[in-house]
Amino acid sequence: MKQLYINGAWLDGASSSANINPSNTNDIIDHYAVADAQQTELAIAAAAAAAPGWALSNIQMRADALDKIGSEILARREELGILLSREEGKTKPEGIGEVVRAGNIFKFFAAECLRLRGDKIPSVRPNLDVEVTREPVGVVGIIAPWNFPIAIPSWKIAPALAYGNCVVMKPAELVPGSTWALTEIISRAGLPPGVFNLVMGHGAVVGAALLNDRRVNAISFTGSVATGKKVAMAAMGRLAKVQIEMGGKNPLVILDDADLATAVYCAVQGSYFSTGQRCTASSRLIVGKNIYPRFVEAVKQELAKLAVGDALAAGTDIGPVVDANQLEQDMNYIRIGKDEGATLAYGGERLDGPSPGFYLRPALLTDASNDMRISREEIFGPVASVIPADSYEHALFLANDTEFGLSSGIVTTSLKHATHFKRHAQAGMVMVNVPTAGVDYHVPFGGSKASSYGSREQGTYAAEFFTTVKTAYCGV
Ligand code: NAD
């Protein structure tokens, strides 16, 4: 049984849950403690008690702790990558890649501890100095989704600690294992008790307790739009700082002048790898009408080469869907697409694997339009629709015609169109001749419109959320 981590001690939960491998539902990874509201409150109290001391802690000590955490994550990339793939279902290379990203994030923020800077500004009044400094926010509640079980917790925890905040971390119910392993590493990094706490459990219990407790000064959330809205309302209701990353319906525009091989690579990689379970996955392929038949044919040929199977098996390209509910959602949207008049040009059927798992052949729906539900609602699986476009202007219009705005891509050999697209795509991230998914760890991450709310995550921009600005006047 893997326990909760509260105030520097390992504690049993109020109950426990089994962490099940989506590649093989007979494989139970372990049992993980599930906290109740009182235990969450204990963790919040511990973080609140530790906050004043940690806020003033030595920055070299913080840097050393984060660096140590990053080094151990990187040294154990294989083992942690396997655990991640086993609980979430992305392939082993993808799991290891995510672990490396997490390690690099801790290393990045270890160095950021030493780079906090402020401003000294001349006053407009005589005999006065003005200083602007960044200070910790206090206690940060972190609520994470299941699809990046170590990278997303890391990109929230590392800046929170670096900038002097205490953390109460709640991973997603489906994937407690990677965050638990991360916590075990953090527990040996020399942080004072209460600075970092792990409470596994249900959103409606642990999440709600974090949202409603006045001692939690800021909430950093990643997940669905439906939950994100609730989180925003609750946090704003008590004037807590809030940062919310939500879903996407990311377009990939393929212009008639695109290099076909690049277009197919971007579409297949961006739409289907990590089983399409990435918030930045391309789910709308908006394709010029001249290249359309060649593009669809080439994508189908490429999809036929992909091996769908056990996430840990050598040679698997696409692992299973994360659980039975998500599989049902994916298959339901494929049915909806067909009912709406789209053509299921490839895949979409449930597959029997070597073991009982949630295997789905990647689905390509062609002849779609942008007003179908499959083009408007986030599916979050290995399902993409192809929407024809008459011109660049039409393609840009379709790309922007969505409530979301996370990542927006274009494949073109035209500098003019690439430049225009970078400027006019309504998204937080724009990709030219690369897949919509796949980002660097040291630059800002986030979206516009309904995809994000609040300030950006990652890179130096993370300071905006995890610090608060103080302006001090001093008579001289
Ligand atoms: P979800 O919204 O169901 O759950 C996210 C987290 O919120 C979980 O930890 C859950 O327990 C918690 N939660 C649920 N109800 C809650 C409540 N009432 N109060 C407080 N917390 C609550 O999302 P999910 O299914 O885990 O993740 C998939 C979603 O995440 C997709 O929409 C995807 O696009 C999005 N996502 C976005 C990004 C991004 O950075 N934009 C990255 C990854 C995933």
Instruction: Name the strands in the sheet holding 250-254, side by side, starting at the edge strand that comes first in the sequence.
Output: 343-346, 363-366, 383-389, 282-288, 250-254, 407-411, 429-432
Active-site residue (options: 279, 302, 378, 457): 279
Ligand 1 pocket by Cβ (under 6 Å): 143-148, 170, 172-173, 203-204, 207-208, 211, 222-224, 227, 230-231, 245-248, 279, 378, 380, 406, 451
Q: What is the pLDDT of residue 354?
A: 80
Mutate to test the pocket of ligand 1, among 98, 142, 224, 229 (most ligand atoms within 8 A of CB): 224
E strand or H helix at 160: helix 151-162
Q: What is the pLDDT of residue 174?
A: 98
Mutate to test the pocket of ligand 1, among 173, 222, 227 (most ligand atoms within 8 A of CB): 227
CA distances from 40 to 150, 231, 263 (A): 21, 17, 48
Q: What is the pLDDT of residue 219?
A: 98
Q: What is the pLDDT of residue 353?
A: 79
Q: What is the pLDDT of residue 350?
A: 97
Q: What is the pLDDT of residue 405?
A: 98
Q: What is the pLDDT of residue 115?
A: 96
Q: Is the pTM of this model over 0.95?
A: yes
Distance from Cα 91 to the centre of ligand 1, integer Å: 21
Q: Is 328 an annotated catalytic residue?
A: no
- Minimal CA–CA distance to 449: which of 430, 427, 425? 427
Q: Is 279 an annotated catalytic residue?
A: yes
Average pLDDT, consecutive stretches of 10 residues, N- to C-terminus, the chain (476 residues):
98 98 98 98 99 98 98 99 98 98 98 96 96 98 98 98 98 98 98 98 98 98 97 97 97 98 98 98 98 98 98 98 98 98 98 93 98 98 98 98 98 98 98 98 97 97 98 96
Buried b (16+ CB within 10 A) or exposed e, 374-396: bbebbbbbbbbbbbbbeebeebb
